[in-house]
Amino acid sequence: MSIKEIQAEIVDEFSLFDDWMQRYEYMIALGKSLPLIEEQYKIDRNLIKGCQSKVWVHAEMKDGKVVFTADSDAIITKGIIAILLRTLSNQSPKDVLEADMHYIDEIGLKEHLSPTRANGLVSMIKQLKLYALAFETQKNNMP
Amino acid sequence: MLQNWAYNSVLIYKNSHMKPLEKENIFDIQKIRSDFPILKRKVNGYPLVYLDNAASSQKPQVVIDAIVDYYSNYNANIHRGVHALSQEATDAYERSRNKIQKHLNAAKPYEIIFTSGTTHSINLVANGFTTLLKTGDEIIVSALEHHSNIVPWQMLCERTGAVLKVIPMNETGELVLEAYEKMLSDKTKLVFCNHISNALGTINPINQIIQKAHEAGAAVLIDGAQACAHLKPDVQVLDVDFYVASAHKMCGPTGVGLLYGKEKWLRKLPPYQGGGEMIAEVTFEKTTYADLPHKFEAGTPNICGDIVFGTAIDYLNQIGFDKIAAYENSLLETATRKLLEIEGLRIYGTSKQKTSVISFNLEGIHPYDVGTILDQLGIAVRTGHHCTQPIMDYYKIPGTVRASFSFYNTFEEIDRLVEAVKKAKQMLQ
């Protein structure tokens, strides 16, 4: 599925909820299903700065796609990463780089995040795109 | 022990086994709440429950009106104009300084320096000590300090070759005074400690800390940022050398603070910043500095904010710090008791001497998650390390949820908090 299709699917899922509580309960459930990072990658070098909770992200290339795994010590944060990873993992670096992330607004997430937390979200997106940029640059520099 | 009335009332209350004071016995809480327009707000569809008072207090209408009054009626630069507005602004500015002097019982009005806040005040003193310290001298700080209270001293040590020592804390969040006394020597030049810990609410035994430091010949700076919202320090009784605080935690505006310094110390310290207002005579060969307090007030100050700081202090004094302390202690006791009924909830900072701050965690749940759910329910608390990473490291936790109560909070709001924490626990477990 393309990034746009997955985003539409997520927006659809979130539109079913009547209130914030259902939305957060769903996010907490998503957090529990996050593709967990391997213990060896849960190191300071993989920490994302700017989040109140700890967030580790690892990225690798598999068959031309970026595969992200992540973890956090806070469950709501894990839910947010799970949504981001569902959209951006297993996509080509170019598609990750070009992805429009405005669906975050549509699912009513950003408005419920305080500035410091929103910064965490922004940092996460930035970090995922930086990984994609690194892989894309690497590919283009190959002979 | 402190001779201060407000502080004593805390002790009297704490040491007795009185029934928690009923709110109507102390003051009319609804009338007080009506002074604060922001308390009528709704957040996420719920009436706001503001429990982040240790970070910043809300402002009563008189303070908001005083800001409008200044800009509407007598806005002008101070201390140099010959015209009427400048004179009125200067008078109001100096009146505010006198109010602060009286409030802290400082000996002289010029022992009060207006600053941009506690951090500015601390940096002013730390910078001044650069010329007074030499390699091998020692500065003592407490383990309960805010980052803003650690970094300026580390920088001072880097500049001078002085050594930083730390008074350790124990499990209840109290300072270990025996260790402090052993640390003191003729090398100790400065002791720095907060009056009340922002992360845990512990009221530190600053009387003993000051006395012991003086016996060793060291100066003492006390950070009253947290304390001044809850009690009225008497700098002469405390015999403290420097005392600092911020207006915004005392119902006043942001960007305003105070530095109290004993006259002999303020004369000894060099100016912090160069600029207008702080000079007597300037030629390209030599500048002579203005007398106190202007020596430390370079440039055009936050005139409006400094004036309104006085208004905020008047407001607090009209309510009375004895009543504020008694009511807030009643809130603290009720909230502590009700929160501890929640299984798996742990409170950090359990000193018998503490103000209305409750730092807690739910077992196995990240404070950030709890804070997020509370926010959804219209409850403002602080989550994180509260700029006190050393304390968090001591307890081996990433942070806490901190609910801090003010005299305008109610017992009903405690119930809202408790219900919301239960809800968060149920959702996050």
B428 and A112 within 8 Å at the Cβ level: the answer is no
Domains of chain B by start residue, with CATH: 5-60+320-428 (3.90.1150.10), 63-317 (3.40.640.10)
Q: Read off the pTM.
A: 0.89
Give catalytic residue positions of B.
Answer: 387
Of the partner residues A24, A75, A77, the one whose CB lies closest to the CB of residue B376 = A24
From A3, A27, A51, A107, active-site residue: A51
Query: Of B138, B167, B168, nearest to B153 (Cα)?
Result: B138
Query: Across residues A93-109, what is the average pLDDT?
Result: 87
B158 to B34, B195, B359: CA distances (angstroms)? 50, 26, 33
Query: Of B50, B113, B85, B99, nearest to B256 (Cα)?
Result: B113
pLDDT at A125 over 90: no
Domain ranges of chain A: 3-138
Phi, psi of A38 (to 5 degrees): -70, 145
Q: Measured between alpha carbons, how far is B331 from B416 in angstroms, rounded to an integer?
A: 13
B376 and A53 within 8 Å at the Cβ level: the answer is no
DSSP-derived 3-state class of residue B258: strand
The residue whose two tokens read 């936050």 is B302
B377 to A24, A80, B229, B369, B407: CA distances (angstroms)? 12, 19, 26, 13, 22
Pick the CATH number of A3-138 from 3.40.50.1980, 3.30.365.10, 3.90.1010.10, 2.60.40.420: 3.90.1010.10
Q: Measured between alpha carbons, how far is B266 from B274 in angstroms, rounded to an integer?
A: 16
Q: What is the pLDDT of residues B327-369, one digit of tens each?
A: 999 999 999 999 999 999 999 999 999 999 999 999 999 999 9
pLDDT at B110 over 80: yes
What is the number of other CB atoms lying within 10 angstroms of the CB of residue B99? Answer: 20
Q: Measured between alpha carbons, how far is A117 from A115 in angstroms, rounded to an integer?
A: 5
Q: Measured between alpha carbons, how far is A4 from A103 in angstroms, rounded to an integer?
A: 9
* Residue B428 with chain A: CB contacts under 8 Å: 28, 75-76
* Residue B366 with chain A: CB contacts under 8 Å: 53, 73-75, 77
Q: Measured between alpha carbons, how far is B43 from B344 in angstroms, rounded to an integer?
A: 28
Higher pLDDT, A11 or A36: A11
DSSP-derived 3-state class of residue B169: strand
Residue spans of alpha helices (H) in chain A: 3-15, 20-32, 75-88, 93-98, 103-106, 115-141
Q: Measured between alpha carbons, how far is A55 from B31 in angstroms, rounded to an integer?
A: 46
A88 is catalytic: no
Percent with pLDDT over 70 in chain B: 94
Higher pLDDT, A50 or B364: B364
